[in-house]
Amino acid sequence: MCRFSLEKYDPPDKTKSPTSLRPEVSRELDSRRAKISTDPFIENILNLISSTNIEKYVTTLSNFNNRHSKSENIHKVAKRLKDELTDLGYVDTSFHEYSQDGYNLKNVICNKKGSADDIILLCGHYDTILKQNLEDIVSRAPGANDNASGVAALLEIARIVSTLNIKRGIQFAFFSGEEQGLWGSTHYAQHVKENNTNLHAVVNMDMCGETGFLSSNKIANIDVDDGQTGAVSSNNEASMNLGLKMESLADTYTEIDTVFDPIDASDYMPFEARGYVCIGAYDGSALPNNPHYHSDTDVLANLNINFLTEVTKMVLAFALSEAK
Ligand SMILES: [Zn+2]
């Protein structure tokens, strides 16, 4: 339990987030691009990613009527995620419990231990919301893209890394309360800070599979801290370097192209506020002309599972390259 009050965030509305980096940062990153050559170890592991599994995970999550953080469902979803991770063979899974605004909620935490002490945090939120009424806890809110897509990708990554020997540990965190204003991630970032957890990097996956309203069905966003939205500046350079690495890995191992955009309106922000190095994977689909965002039509049929599979590949390539 926290002894003092944590910072507050508005309910995230990604349609209002900046979509491009500051031009001088963009030019700087362009000048620092480097090619990464294929590593057979990583390539072999990436081949294990199954789009069938990813689709199955999205279906499981979006079959809940909704996953509103103030509904009873949210606890069922938390249990389902924890059970899923246990079924994948994980023994170190737990609920990180917190209270906010009178609600007792859970983040689901799962550890893949490495031989070293530092860890990479891979995270995403599992709750949903409807834009018409943020307090509607009974109507259908499937949240297939926002954010069953990110959760499904993380579960598939967890499945694949479960049996690997790695140096850095990988921790998976599934947050509730994101749509209320990053509740779960704020409490968890504070927990990480208070426990002096040796966090190498935070990689957030939020909305990773809907390309229908985009100009291209093969461009993913890599969110980096270009100083536009972040709370502290000491970690910007490290975030951009990790972003560049993710970009090169996407180029080497996947069929997608990438663009950078600033971190904003998602679960990495409380980690950013505490100085941790954060990047994110995002499809860029929260556009004003996308009617499915935070709506009852955010369903599996609108997802591009091939694209989501490639984004999963990009994030797994990054995790492996940092952890191996
Ligand atoms: Zn989201």
Whether 1 has a pLDDT exceeding 70, the answer reads: no
Determine the distance separating the centroid of ligand 1 and the alpha carbon of 165, expressed in angstroms: 31
Q: Are 210 and 295 in contact (CB under 8 A)?
A: no
Going across the sheet that includes 257-262, the strands are: 93-100, 103-112, 169-175, 119-125, 199-205, 278-282, 219-224, 257-262
DSSP string, 122-189: EEEE-----TT-TT--SS-B--IIIIIIHHHHHHHHHHHHTT---SSEEEEEEES-HHHHSHHHHHHH
Q: Are 277 and 201 in contact (CB under 8 A)?
A: yes
Determine the distance separating the centroid of ligand 1 and the alpha carbon of 14, expressed in angstroms: 8
Whether 257 has a pLDDT exceeding 80, the answer reads: yes
Q: Give percent above pLDDT 70 in the chain.
A: 99
Determine the distance separating the centroid of ligand 1 and the alpha carbon of 19, expressed in angstroms: 16
Determine the distance separating the centroid of ligand 1 and the alpha carbon of 167, expressed in angstroms: 30
Determine the distance separating the centroid of ligand 1 and the alpha carbon of 9, expressed in angstroms: 14
**Interatomic CA distance for residues 165 and 250, integer angstroms:** 23
Phi-psi region of 181 (alpha: psi -120 to 50; beta: other; left: phi over 0): left
Arithmetic mean of pLDDT, 250-256: 98
Determine the distance separating the centroid of ligand 1 and the alpha carbon of 294, expressed in angstroms: 9
pLDDT at position 3 is 54
Contacts (Cβ under 8 Å, ≥6 apart) of 215: none
Collapsing DSSP to helix, strand or coil, 120 comes out as: strand
* Strand 199-205 to 278-282 pairing: parallel
Domain 14-323: which topology?
Aminopeptidase (3.40.630)
pLDDT at position 144 is 98
Determine the distance separating the centroid of ligand 1 and the alpha carbon of 286, expressed in angstroms: 9
Determine the distance separating the centroid of ligand 1 and the alpha carbon of 207, expressed in angstroms: 6
* Strand 119-125 to 169-175 pairing: parallel
Closest CA to 207 of 13, 5, 1: 13
**Residue 154: other Cβ atoms inside 10 A:** 29
| DSSP H/E element including 304 | none
Residue 175 main-chain phi, psi, to 5 deg: -100, 145
* Confidence bin at 225 (pLDDT 50/70/90): very high
pLDDT at position 5 is 87
Q: Model pTM?
A: 0.98
DSSP string, 62-79: HTSSB--TTSTHHHHHHH
Q: Is the peptide bond before 217 cis (omega within 30 degrees of 0)?
A: no
Arithmetic mean of pLDDT, 81-86: 98
pLDDT in tens, 197-206: 999 999 999 9
Whether 151 has a pLDDT exceeding 90, the answer reads: yes
Determine the distance separating the centroid of ligand 1 and the alpha carbon of 64, expressed in angstroms: 16
Residue ranges per structural domain of the chain? 14-323
Determine the distance separating the centroid of ligand 1 and the alpha carbon of 196, expressed in angstroms: 27
Collapsing DSSP to helix, strand or coil, 225 comes out as: coil
Q: How many CA atoms lie within 13 A of 177 on its CB side?
A: 25
Determine the distance separating the centroid of ligand 1 and the alpha carbon of 179, expressed in angstroms: 7
Phi-psi region of 235 (alpha: psi -120 to 50; beta: other; left: phi over 0): alpha
Cα 302–chain centre separation = 19
pLDDT in tens, 259-298: 999 999 999 999 999 999 999 999 999 999 999 999 999 9
pLDDT at position 4 is 65
Determine the distance separating the centroid of ligand 1 and the alpha carbon of 184, expressed in angstroms: 13
**Residue 191: other Cβ atoms inside 10 A:** 15
**Interatomic CA distance for residues 83 and 121, integer angstroms:** 20
pLDDT at position 29 is 96
DSSP state of 302: G
Determine the distance separating the centroid of ligand 1 and the alpha carbon of 125, expressed in angstroms: 6
What type of residue sits at position 271? F
Determine the distance separating the centroid of ligand 1 and the alpha carbon of 182, expressed in angstroms: 10
Determine the distance separating the centroid of ligand 1 and the alpha carbon of 96, expressed in angstroms: 20
* Strand 219-224 to 257-262 pairing: parallel
Determine the distance separating the centroid of ligand 1 and the alpha carbon of 54, expressed in angstroms: 17
Average pLDDT, the chain: 97
Determine the distance separating the centroid of ligand 1 and the alpha carbon of 89, expressed in angstroms: 27
Determine the distance separating the centroid of ligand 1 and the alpha carbon of 193, expressed in angstroms: 23
